[in-house]
Amino acid sequence: MNEFISLTVAGIATYGCVYALTAMGLVVTYTTSGIFNFAQGAIGMIGAFFFYELSRVWHIPSLLSLIIAVFIFAPLIGALLERLVMRRLENAALEAKLTVTIALLLLGIALATAIWNPQTVRNLPSFFNGHQVSVGGVNLTYQQVIVVLAAILAAVLLRLFFIYTRAGIATRAVVDDRDLAALTGASPARFAQLGWAMGCALAALAGILIAPQNGALDITNLTLLVVNGYAAAMVGRLRSLPLTFAGAIVLGVLYSYALGYLPSTLVWNDFANITPMIFLLLVILVLPQSRAVLSRRIMVRAPRVVGLRESLIAGGALILAGVLFSRLLSGNNLSYANTGVSLGIIMLSLVLLTGYGGQVSLCQFSFAGLGAYAMSKVGGTHGSLLGILAAMGLAGAVGGLVALPSLRLRGLYLALATLAFAQGMDTYFFGNPQFFGVAGSISVARPDLFGFQLSSSRTLLIALTVVFALIATLILTFRRSRFGRRLVAINDSPAACLTVGVDMTRSKLAVFIISAAIAGLGGALYAGAQTQVGPNDFQFILSLTLLLIAVVWGIRTTAGMLFGGIVFSLGPLLGQHLTHPRDAFDLLVGLAAIGVSQNPEGTFGGNTLLQRWRNSREAQPPQAAGALAADSGEERLSHAAG
């Protein structure tokens, strides 16, 4: 009984209230700007480190440090982020929005690692040195009391702000109807900026309050602790602050029970640690979907549809290049090329799923890992064709299982569900000695296609380019088919499709399965290119990076995926020339993503020089509008309906 009470108290005071702070921050930024801030965790972490710097290194009194960190430093970061990055994303597709904040997360971690050397041990003492008070027979540390008070105070102040102040009312008005708010003279951008400032302040406060309770400051741990708050924000459907608060408390208490009651064997321990993710998954799947936020996105331009001739020529050119480079390259460079093209194949799965279908998956590497696993088990030492089929089959089947419960989810919710799935896979599949061996690695044979042994890296490169060209051509052909047009139509306007009777569920399921199968195939080839793979090759964070690179290079283009894959594979190359390779890579990725905010269609999509040149060649008088509209919504819908 006593344990129960103390676990409950810890759940509320140590975790629940901190989750509440960060989750309320998420809600405020999301409602005002429409952007789900994945970097919330990183901002909390940086806030904690900054606070450490002020109070322990510069010896500024704790309270003053707190005020500086929470009320000046963090809001400034938030406002700056909004101004420089988020403002340009207003009409961007979901994957671009997600990508940018994912990149900020990586960037935040990289910056923190560069500034605060992880080797140094930094301890933040609890407030009031861990003194305790007894409330109704339960002992509370002052720290816990402060956390609870801070959370309640923040919740009350937020509520008062939104109900009684003019700025608060205007903020809600902006959420309600952005255009109309502008017509009344309230600048939506200014309120989004305010939202970001408040969200970051709350994140920093959460980071500072949770930091002393987990030993020495650790960049990754702190980031993830704050990330756990995501699930609470889902309870509030990213809209309601009171529900979010309640969800945070429930989550905190559950987490505390899981830590306290589950047996401390490895498996259960892991389970306790992913409770927040499981909670997230359940919340997303069980709670009713919020009022249909049907894509606010305005179709900026109908993406150019590549014709068959063009894709065949490009495919042929790619294979030629493959033949050429297989002669030119050798040693490491050859294996970078092989890894790059196979990563490109994994990325092609995103073109279909996300680029055309608008469904954002954050678990493509989990599917790739499944493919690699199947290839290793079934493909044997020679890499039979059966292994390839098994890779596609397993990944496709699991993809179907993931998709089934998630189909009714839209956009962000689907992305978060796949994220939770990926984390589960990390813990229970890739990290499991049963599957990936005690040594933590499996060997995967290179495929043997119709008697062609691909064990030589040179022939492998040629084969990979052939596979890439084939899949890319298939994807582009699919895009031109009726089904493809239907898919894009669904992406453009789910509501319109419902009214013309397009069966969304079946189409979405099919796309998810095909995409997972492509990722599985890519994973098998990727593993074959490396010959040995371990659990670290399929971590969920890599799925985030994959999406990021895909968006940077243009997720609606197949050419972009080839270049993206090669850039991805060159990442380790940095390690040979730099002392902090990971940081440098993350930094690059971060900067590239800020580039995304300038050009959400990516390098190969949209506003490229090539595209502008094409446009100017095609330039038609606008009166010929009918012809241009042929590929926009209505026309596509009529195809889809027919």
Residues within the interface to other proteins (CB under 8 A): 166, 169-170, 172-173, 176-177, 179-188, 299-302, 622-623, 625, 628-629, 632
Q: How far apart are CB 220 and other proteins at their closest, in Å?
A: 39
Nearer of residues 127 and 191 to other proteins, judged by Cβ: 191
Q: How far is CA 249 from CA 11, 184, 287, in A?
A: 7, 38, 17
Q: How far apart are CB 300 and other proteins at their closest, in Å?
A: 7
Q: How far apart are CB 478 and other proteins at their closest, in Å?
A: 24
CA distance 473 to 479: 10
Q: Which residues of 567-576 are buried (b: 16+ CB within 10 A; e: fewer)?
A: bbbebeeeee
Helix axes 364-378, 331-350, angle to 10 degrees: 120
Q: How far apart are CB 600 and other proteins at their closest, in Å?
A: 16
Q: How far apart are CB 196 and other proteins at their closest, in Å?
A: 18
Q: How far apart are CB 30 and other proteins at their closest, in Å?
A: 16
DSSP label at residue 124: P
Complete DSSP assignment for 246-303: HHHHHHHHHHHHHHHHS--SHHHHHHHHTHHHHHHHHHHHHSPPPS---------SPP
Nearer of residues 286 and 298 to other proteins, judged by Cβ: 298
Nearer of residues 308 and 629 to other proteins, judged by Cβ: 629
Nearer of residues 15 and 30 to other proteins, judged by Cβ: 30
Contact indicator for 71, 201 with CB cutoff of 8 Å: yes
Q: How far is CA 88 from CA 34, 354, 552, 615, in A?
A: 12, 20, 15, 23
Strand runs (DSSP E) across 74-165, as ranges?
A: 132-135, 138-141
One-letter amino acid for residue 443 of the chain: S
Nearer of residues 3 and 179 to other proteins, judged by Cβ: 179
Nearer of residues 438 and 619 to other proteins, judged by Cβ: 619
Helix H or strand E encompassing 152: helix 142-164
Nearer of residues 266 and 625 to other proteins, judged by Cβ: 625
Angle, vertex CA 192, rays to CA 186 and CA 197, nearest 5 = 125
Contact indicator for 535, 431 with CB cutoff of 8 Å: yes
Helix H or strand E encompassing 149: helix 142-164
Q: How far apart are CB 628 and other proteins at their closest, in Å?
A: 5
Q: How far apart are CB 384 and other proteins at their closest, in Å?
A: 50
Nearer of residues 5 and 182 to other proteins, judged by Cβ: 182
CA distance 550 to 348: 9
* Residue-level length of the chain: 642
Nearer of residues 114 and 300 to other proteins, judged by Cβ: 300
Q: How far apart are CB 164 and other proteins at their closest, in Å?
A: 10
Q: How far is CA 93 from CA 33, 298, 402, 544, 556, in A?
A: 14, 9, 23, 16, 11
Q: Which two tokens stand for residue 146?
A: 């402060």
Q: How far apart are CB 611 and other proteins at their closest, in Å?
A: 14
Q: How far apart are CB 186 and other proteins at their closest, in Å?
A: 6
The residues, ordered by sequence, that sit 6+ positions from 288 with a Cβ below 8 Å of its Cβ are none
Nearer of residues 181 and 392 to other proteins, judged by Cβ: 181
Nearer of residues 426 and 601 to other proteins, judged by Cβ: 601
Helix H or strand E encompassing 639: helix 633-641
3-state secondary structure of 449: strand
CA distance 181 to 197: 20
Residue whose structure tokens are 């302040």: 201
3-state secondary structure of 533: strand
